[in-house]
Amino acid sequence: MQIDANTMKTGLLGHPVGHSKSPEMLNAAYRREGLPFVYLAFDVAPGDLESAVTGLRVLGFKGWNVTIPHKVAIMDHLDDIEESARAIGAVNTVISEGGRLIGTNTDGAGYLRSLVSETGMDPVGQRVVLLGAGGAARAVGYALARAGVERITVANRTESRAEALASHLGRWTKTSGIGLSRVEDAIREASLLIQTTSVGMHPDSSACPVDPGCLHGELLVSDLVYHPRETRLLKEAHRRGARVHGGMGMLVHQGALAFQRWTGQTPPVATMWDALEESLK
Ligand code: ATR
């Protein structure tokens, strides 16, 4: 597709953005569908966020993704915040509709789509252990709580953050917050373990956030880390008969949901997946 005066503009605001795979994924999707869209990455320092949003608004951008460190601060510069973003406390996608800037969050829904489409798991009735209590855990916890899981135990290195997230998610499901010292007992009772911290991420890929001895065959273990694709946690889980789910799908599906909002079209998920794999080589 030729870029011309009518090309629809989308992109990413972050700091830094050099590592982002979103330009490859989204531009591949636009090309595949023959859509007159382009996606660019913009490195915006925190003090420049307001000017950047004004700039994108004036330049007629159809929408953009938001990443670290702007996911919370951007909320002050938008006209509407959708329920998902309000509940997660962060915006990862902005849509411009009739001159109004709408903030939403596709991370949680993207995670859920990835989990269900890749593993076939029905979230209803699952006993979940969520490792970590940061932004990723908030998004995933919200999506699972809304999807009808039986309970969520949030386990975090800093116990007070686990308690705070558990109390927040308690609006939608049964929850508790614990420190990492008690996580092994919780995992023995669980059907779904989700790892949302950076532990095990390249280059420290030999690290495992829990004692592998507590992993068991009734578990589905899901790790948000996607580099390496198979983390030590997933290897240990697989060895003990557990089902495993890697982090690439969440990245693909959160982008696919943004694509859908901007273009109004069904996203070419397989094309986005291939583009992500290619960019990680
Ligand atoms: P993200 O948005 O990716 O979730 P974040 O909000 O900075 O990032 O949260 C990082 C999470 O990983 C936190 O739960 C953090 O634990 P603390 O709340 O105790 O800081 C967790 N984390 C990071 N490094 C960790 C490590 N080495 N061991 C255990 N947990 C770790």
Q: Tell me how far the alpha carbon of residue 84 lies from the centroid of ligand 1, in angstroms.
A: 22
The closest residue, in CA terms, to atom 26 on ligand 1 is 199
Q: What is the chain's pLDDT, residue by residue, as a tens digit (281 residues)?
A: 789 999 999 999 999 999 999 999 999 999 999 999 999 999 999 999 999 999 999 999 999 999 999 999 999 999 999 999 999 999 999 999 999 999 999 999 999 999 999 999 999 999 999 999 999 999 999 999 999 999 999 999 999 999 999 999 999 999 999 999 999 999 999 999 999 999 999 999 999 999 999 999 999 999 999 999 999 999 999 999 999 999 999 999 999 999 999 999 999 999 999 999 999 98
Q: Under a CB-based contact definition with an 8 Å cutoff, are residues 93 and 105 in contact?
A: yes
Instruction: Report the Cα 117 to chain-centroid distance in Å.
Output: 15
Is the CB of 67 inside a 6 Å radius of any atom of ligand 1?
Answer: no
Is the CB of 23 inside a 6 Å radius of any atom of ligand 1?
Answer: no
Peptide bond into 203 cis (omega under 30): yes
SS3 185: helix
Query: Is 139 part of any known ligand binding site?
Result: no
68-100: b (≥16 Cβ within 10 Å) or e: eebbeebbebbeebeebbebbebbbbbbbeeee
Q: What whole-number distance in Å separates Cα of residue 118 and Cα of residue 107?
A: 16
This model of the complex carries an ipTM of 0.97
Catalytic one of 9, 62, 71, 235: 71
Q: Which ligand 1 atom sits closest to the C-alpha of 161?
A: 18
Q: What whole-number distance in Å separates Cα of residue 142 and Cα of residue 172?
A: 8
Question: What's the pTM?
Answer: 0.97
Q: Which domains does the chain have, with CATH numbers?
A: 8-105+250-280 (3.40.50.10860), 108-246 (3.40.50.720)
Structure-token match 């004692």, residue found? 211
Q: What whole-number distance in Å separates Cα of residue 110 and Cα of residue 113?
A: 5
Q: What whole-number distance in Å separates Cα of residue 28 and Cα of residue 20?
A: 14
Instruction: Report the Cα 255 to chain-centroid distance in Å.
Output: 9
Q: Residue 224: its pLDDT value, please? A: 98
Strands 174-179 and 192-195: unpaired
266, exposed or middle or buried, with CB in 10 Å at 0-12, 13-18, 19+?
exposed
Q: Residue 1: its pLDDT value, please? A: 73
Which candidate, 103, 97, 46, 39, places its Cα nearest to that of 70? 46
Strands 151-156 and 174-179: parallel
Q: Which residue among 66, 138, 157 is best mutated to probe the pocket of ligand 1, counting the most ligand atoms within 8 A of its Cβ?
A: 157
Query: Is 52 part of any known ligand binding site?
Result: no
SS3 277: helix
Q: What whole-number distance in Å separates Cα of residue 131 and Cα of residue 180?
A: 8
Q: What whole-number distance in Å separates Cα of residue 197 and Cα of residue 181?
A: 16
Alpha helices in 121-219 (DSSP H): 135-146, 159-169, 183-188
- The DSSP code sequence of 79-126 is SEE-HHHHHHT---EEEEETTEEEEE--HHHHHHHHHHHHH----TT-
Establish how many alpha carbons lie within 13 A of residue 6's alpha carbon, considering only the half-sphere containing its beta carbon.
Answer: 4
Is the CB of 132 inside a 6 Å radius of any atom of ligand 1?
Answer: yes
Q: What whole-number distance in Å separates Cα of residue 90 and Cα of residue 2?
A: 34
